[in-house]
């Protein structure tokens, strides 16, 4: 009976139940924008994917839009509860150090919400996920499905965003920033060492106050909503 049991444990859903949890690697997400016509004029300007490089204590989220003209990189230091938010547009390169109080301005469109946990499960990018639902207390914002996994080791992975309560790494979710609603769906998880330089401050960016960066982001991203 040992052999069938071993096959059962190491097979199924393409993910080994005996495999150790992932502590370092890269997650790639496909991004879609449900409020935009995929064949419209703005379609070519919107990002199609984002990557999240991680270890147990740090994250780096990289995104490119406008055919590479606009780039952002959010470098998250969880033990210190700080984020270095880099923005590059044309020849302008800015970075601001954001603390929890500063992040409220970046998440100001998120209404108060309640997280409801369910028994539903799914496999996303080869990883077992549980489903939660974010129910907003205000009127007019629909419920959001949040699919997360505990097979990836990350300390407080969502502390800097609107779904900080979720205890695992989000692999499928939706959020609104600067009036733009986006849906993210993990397409691949690649375990493996991440170069420490990925989590370093980019020296070629000018350091500015959080308010300055927030204003610049509003101006740039506002072009996508008009």
Task: Dig out the tokens for 157 from the structure.
Answer: 């992975």
Q: What share of the chain is helix, strand, coil (3-state, %, to 5)?
A: 15, 45, 40
Q: Which residue has the higher pLDDT, 200 or 224?
A: 200
Indicate whether 211 pLDDT > 80.
yes
103 within 8 A of 83, measured Cβ to Cβ: yes
* Mean pLDDT score, 165-170: 97
The pLDDT of residue 138 is 76
Indicate whether 181 pLDDT > 60.
yes
Pairing mode, strands 92-98 and 113-124: unpaired
- Distance (Å, rounded) from C-alpha 14 to C-alpha 127? 9
Choice among 61-75, 79-93, 120-134, 198-212 with the minimum mean pLDDT: 61-75
**pTM higher than 0.75, yes or no?**
yes
């Amino acid at each position: 009976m040992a052999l069938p049991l071993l096959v059962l444990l190491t097979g199924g859903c393409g993910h080994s139940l005996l495999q150790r949890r992932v502590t370092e690697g890269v997650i790639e997400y496909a991004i879609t924008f449900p409020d935009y016509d995929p064949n419209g004029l703005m379609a070519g300007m919107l990002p199609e994917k984002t990557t999240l490089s991680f270890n147990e204590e740090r994250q780096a989220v990289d995104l490119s839009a406008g055919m590479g003209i606009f780039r952002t990189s959010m470098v998250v230091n969880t033990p210190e509860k700080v984020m270095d938010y880099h923005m590059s547009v044309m020849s302008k390169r800015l970075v601001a150090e954001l603390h929890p109080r500063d992040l409220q301005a970046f998440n100001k469109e998120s209404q108060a919400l309640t997280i409801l946990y369910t028994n539903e499960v799914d496999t996303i990018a080869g990883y077992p996920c549980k489903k939660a639902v974010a129910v907003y207390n205000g009127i007019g914002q629909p419920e959001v499905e949040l699919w997360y996994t505990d097979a990836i080791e990350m300390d407080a992975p969502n502390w800097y965003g609107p779904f900080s309560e979720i205890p695992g790494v989000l692999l499928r979710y939706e959020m609104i920033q600067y009036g733009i609603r986006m849906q993210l769906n993990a397409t691949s998880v690649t375990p493996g060492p991440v170069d420490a330089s990925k989590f370093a401050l980019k020296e070629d960016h000018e350091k500015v106050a959080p308010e300055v960066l927030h204003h610049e982001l509003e101006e740039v991203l506002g072009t996508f909503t008009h």
